[in-house]
């Protein structure tokens, strides 16, 4: 058996190759995916980047907002002056929302109907048009049919909508003959 001795340059090349292979070898699969190169493009005329660039935490890709336990007395969707104001949903930074509505009838249901949520952009001209003329501009909606056979519980199918405004007012209606306790879920995504 013959043993070949490597020169200093060949030894360095062999060690460098082994070191490179060791760093590229996926030992822990989670580690290889967690590290990614980042490139910062400086556009001085639009938004200049100076100094150290840091990211404190990951940019959220989704968020769940719940407006819950809202009591909604019987009010028709068309009765715009009596719809129940359930607050607002901030959507800034997200591109889509999936709306889901669930709830419980308070008492025995005699008249079946729909319970729904309408989200209107919280923008002064849109709100003014709604208040003065009763018109829904750019609405996002979700609704559930409520029947006596459902034992007082209801839930809508999820409704996916693109987002166009940073904040939406939430208005609820209830076309049954009993008050309901409603929960609106808004799952915000990119």
Query: What CATH number did the domain enclosing 94 receive?
Result: 2.60.120.660
Domain count, the chain: 1
Looking at the domain assignment, is residue 91 inside a domain?
A: yes
User: 183 in helix, strand or coil?
Assistant: strand
Looking at the domain assignment, is residue 76 inside a domain?
A: yes
Q: Which pLDDT score is estimated for 35?
A: 74
At 126-152, the pLDDT tens digits run: 999 999 999 999 999 999 999 887 788
Report the distance separating Cα 98 and Cα 119, nearest Å.
12
Confidence of residue 1 (pLDDT cuts 50, 70, 90): very low
Looking at the domain assignment, is residue 34 inside a domain?
A: no
At 63-116, the pLDDT tens digits run: 999 999 999 999 999 999 999 999 999 999 999 999 999 999 999 998 999 999
Looking at the domain assignment, is residue 46 inside a domain?
A: no
Looking at the domain assignment, is residue 142 inside a domain?
A: yes
Domain residue limits at 176: 62-189
Report the distance separating Cα 78 and Cα 180, nearest Å.
18
Q: Please, are residues 181 and 71 in contact by the beta-carbon 8 Å criterion?
A: yes
Looking at the domain assignment, is residue 28 inside a domain?
A: no
Q: Which pLDDT score is estimated for 8?
A: 54
pTM: 0.71
């Amino acid at each position: 058996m013959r043993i070949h001795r490597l020169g200093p340059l060949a030894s360095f090349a062999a060690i460098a190759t082994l070191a490179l292979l060791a760093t590229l070898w996926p030992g822990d699969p989670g580690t290889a995916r967690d590290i990614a190169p980042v490139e910062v493009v400086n556009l001085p005329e639009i938004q200049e980047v100076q100094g150290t660039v840091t990211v404190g935490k990951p940019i959220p890709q989704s968020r769940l907002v719940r407006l819950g336990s809202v009591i909604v007395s019987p009010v028709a969707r068309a009765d715009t002056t009596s719809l129940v104001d359930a607050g607002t949903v901030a959507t800034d930074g997200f591109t889509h929302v999936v709306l889901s509505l669930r709830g419980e009838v308070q008492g025995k249901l005699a008249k079946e109907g729909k319970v729904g949520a309408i989200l209107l952009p919280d923008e002064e001209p849109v709100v003014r048009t709604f208040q003065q003329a009763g018109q829904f501009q750019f609405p996002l909606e979700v609704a559930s049919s409520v029947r006596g056979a459902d034992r007082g519980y209801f839930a809508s199918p999820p409704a996916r909508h693109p987002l166009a405004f940073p904040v939406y007012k939430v208005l609820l209606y209830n076309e049954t003959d009993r008050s309901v306790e409603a929960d609106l879920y808004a799952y915000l995504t990119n």
